[in-house]
Amino acid sequence: MSVDPLPTIFVVDDDAAVARALAGAGRLLGYPVRAFDGASSFLNAYDPVLPGCLVLDIRMPGMTGLELQRKLADDGVELPIVMISGHADVRTAVEAMTLGALTLLEKPFRLDELMTQIRRGVEWDAANRAARARKDSTAARLAQLTPKEREVLELIARGKTNKEIAADLGLSVRAVEDRRARLMKKMDAKSVADLVWVRSAHGDRGS
Amino acid sequence: MSPPTRPLLTPGRAAALSLTLVAAVFAVDLCLPLGVASAVPYTFAVLLALRARPWWFVLAVAGLCGVLTVLKMGLVPERGTTEMWKVVVNRCLALFSIGMTTLLGVLGRRAEAGRREAEGKMRDHLATLAHLGRLHTAGQLATGLAHELNQPLAAIGLQAEIAEQFAAGGDTNHDALMISLAEITEQSQRAAAIVKTLRRLTQPGEEKPGPVDLNDVIRSVAPLIDREARRAGADVQLHLTDPLPPVWGDRVQLEQVVFNLLRNAVEAVAGVARERVARVESAAEGDAVTVVVRDTGCGLPPGDPERVFERFYTTKPGGMGVGLAISRSIVESHGGRLWADREPTGGAAFRCRLPAERGA
């Protein structure tokens, strides 16, 4: 695996003075900061591979913050968003939160609040990316299984014993034990519980 | 805005002339024999007296003329070959002329007074509307301003805390500290400028007419529409020609015009599917300065574009329909013109042309 890039704080606000202040907060946390004056310039420059957190003004000329949030969600980008609002009416606030914003800060707010939320966003993103990576590797491992091993995995997941599985599949108990061992090895699982968890974490595709 | 020229025939002069004429006619009348209809010119004295004040002066002159007309019969016995009945009829005709002139004159004057009163009421009414329109604008401005002030305040608050962090951390980052402090100063000035503009807009009448730079007007009004523009997702663009010759006028009123036009443009583009742009352009054209506010919005209502300038004409829910009417009357009182055009793209363009101030 390559070295993870440092989390970047993306600031999108059309008001240059506010953008500079938000960027200052990000730098204070020790993260690299990239500021944009609008949604479209952010979209042009953003690479979803980069981890971090997005600090986004809710109202902007052209594409608004909410529209950008919706576009990112539609594109499957899971960058955490700290929404900034001049004065949030309830409807906009609810909409932003429903669309999955991490939080919504109303101007003017304290530096502490902002830094706490940015930190939270960065942590959330790191956890989310780790979970995704695990999921991806699980998928890859599941794909390596032969149909017969998969059959055994499904039955194990249903809580059946080796004996029952042997009876169901018309095999010897010995053969089932062999397959089970191969399965555990391929899935990199240490126990049956581990095996079942990995399988369900990836969704019940097989059953 | 020029003062009305002083009339040649003031009430005082009219009264003096009227009495002089009465004396002259009487003198001539006395010199002529009874048979001559020399009392008829008294009617001109009555007509002059109509222009004098107080209101009853004309009645007094008419009465005097009547008395003098009859008096002559007693003073001048010489009647030549004329029969007595003809003399009496003659004098009665003169009395009739004086009486009718007085009556028609007084009635005419009353009708005139009624018309003036109606005109005055209309002017008051317009002034009230203009005031209401301004209050309406001020109310909207106040909310816009609250948002607009929030921007520098948010920046100041954050930068102050950032500076505090740097200061607490010792001398490690002197430059960053200076940048934050400079930012605080700059944003304080920005906030102060916003407050100043609002005060000017809501407290009219404090400024005297003078040379006004329309670019300044546009630049100070544009931030006030910021909140509306964000809400509408509208892009407000300024394409200004610098420098611009000044125009002569009332800055607050001109700000009101630009604000009205810009707000209309922003409201027009709200909700349209295509690009939402409200654009203000200024240019010098010959001895005039033009300001064009165009938008990519829903366009003018079908029919005559002039209708949008009628009072109480509105297409906006909650609109009063006075903004454009007031704007036009302001521009016209500055010797300019304001009119509307359809844009080829489907939006509207409002064009304002004001005479440039010469020799400034």
B100-157 residue pLDDT tens: 999 998 888 888 888 888 877 766 666 666 666 666 666 666 666 777 888 899 999 9
Pick B170 or B318 by higher pLDDT. B170
CA distance A115 to A27: 10
Cβ contact A64–B233 (<8 Å)? yes
Cβ contact A20–B157 (<8 Å)? no
Chain A contact probe: residue of B145, B147, B161, B280 with most A CBs at under 10 A: B161
B61-94 residue pLDDT tens: 999 999 988 888 777 777 667 788 888 888 888 8
Question: Which residue in chain A is spatially nearest to B173 when comparing CA positions?
Answer: A28
For residue B229, list chain A residues with Cβ-Cβ distance below 8 A.
61
Q: Which of A62, A107, A111 sits opposite B162 (nearest CB)?
A: A111
pLDDT at res. B33: 78
Strands (E), chain A: 8-12, 33-36, 52-57, 81-85, 103-106
Min distance A93 CA to chain B CA atoms (Å): 14
Instruction: Locate B207 and state its tokens.
Output: 């400024």
Kindly state the percentage of chain B with pLDDT values over 70: 84
Say if A24 is an interface residue toward chain B (CB within 8 Å).
yes
Instruction: Locate B48 and state its tokens.
Output: 């002059």
Mark B19-55 as b/e (b = at least 16 C-beta within 10 Å): bebbeebbeebeeeebebbbbbbbbebbbbbbbbeee
For the whole prediction, is pTM greater than 0.95? Answer: no
Task: Please check whether residue B243 is in contact with residue B204, taking contact to mean a CB–CB distance below 8 angstroms.
Answer: no
Longest dimension (CA), chain B: 128
Min distance B160 CA to chain A CA atoms (Å): 9
The lowest-confidence range among A178-187, B129-138, B273-282 is: B129-138
Kindly state the percentage of chain B with pLDDT values over 90: 23
For residue A117, list chain B residues with Cβ-Cβ distance below 8 A.
none
For residue A107, list chain B residues with Cβ-Cβ distance below 8 A.
150-151, 153-154
Distance of CA B39 to the CA centre of its chain: 49
Q: 3-state class of A24 per DSSP?
A: helix
Say if A15 is an interface residue toward chain B (CB within 8 Å).
yes
- The answer, yes or no, to whether residue B342 has pLDDT greater than 70, is yes
Q: Which of A60, A61, A87 sits opposite B147 (nearest CB)?
A: A87
For chains A and B, CB pairs below 8 A equal 76
Say if A62 is an interface residue toward chain B (CB within 8 Å).
yes
Burial of B188 (0-12, 13-18, 19+ CB in 10 A): middle
Q: Which residues of B touch A (CB under 8 A)?
A: 146-147, 150-155, 157-159, 161-162, 165, 176, 180, 183, 186-187, 190, 227, 229-231, 233-236, 276
B-facing residues of A in 143-172 (CB < 8 A) are none
For residue B231, list chain A residues with Cβ-Cβ distance below 8 A.
59
Cβ contact A17–B190 (<8 Å)? yes
B290-300 residue pLDDT tens: 999 999 988 88
pLDDT at res. A113: 93
Say if A25 is an interface residue toward chain B (CB within 8 Å).
yes
CA distance A36 to A198: 40
Q: Tell me chain B's radius of gyration from C-alpha atoms.
A: 34
pLDDT at res. A115: 94
Residue B217 CB neighbours (<10 A): 23
Residue type at position A70: R
CA distance B218 to B214: 6
A12-36 residue pLDDT tens: 998 899 999 999 999 989 999 999 9
CA distance A41 to B291: 30
The Cα angle at residue B175 between residues B173 and B178, in degrees rounded to 5: 115
Cβ contact B155–A18 (<8 Å)? yes
Q: 3-state class of A70 per DSSP?
A: helix
CA distance B275 to B266: 12
User: To the nearest whole number, what is the mean pLDDT of chain B?
Assistant: 83
CA distance B181 to B156: 9
A165-174, B73-82, B158-167: which has the highest mean pLDDT? B158-167
pLDDT at res. B29: 85
Give which of B165, B192, B194 is closest to B181, Cα–Cα: B165
Q: Which of A22, A64, A86 sits opposite B147 (nearest CB)?
A: A86
Question: Which residue in chain A is spatially nearest to B154 when comparing CA positions?
Answer: A108
Chain B contact probe: residue of A13, A28, A29, A110 with most B CBs at under 10 A: A28
Mark B196-205 as b/e (b = at least 16 C-beta within 10 Å): ebbeebbebe
Min distance B147 CA to chain A CA atoms (Å): 6
Cβ contact B161–A110 (<8 Å)? yes
B224-245 residue pLDDT tens: 787 778 878 888 999 999 889 9
pLDDT at res. A10: 96
Helix (H) or strand (E) run with residue B293 in it: strand B288-295
B27-69 residue pLDDT tens: 888 888 777 777 888 888 888 888 888 888 888 999 999 998 8
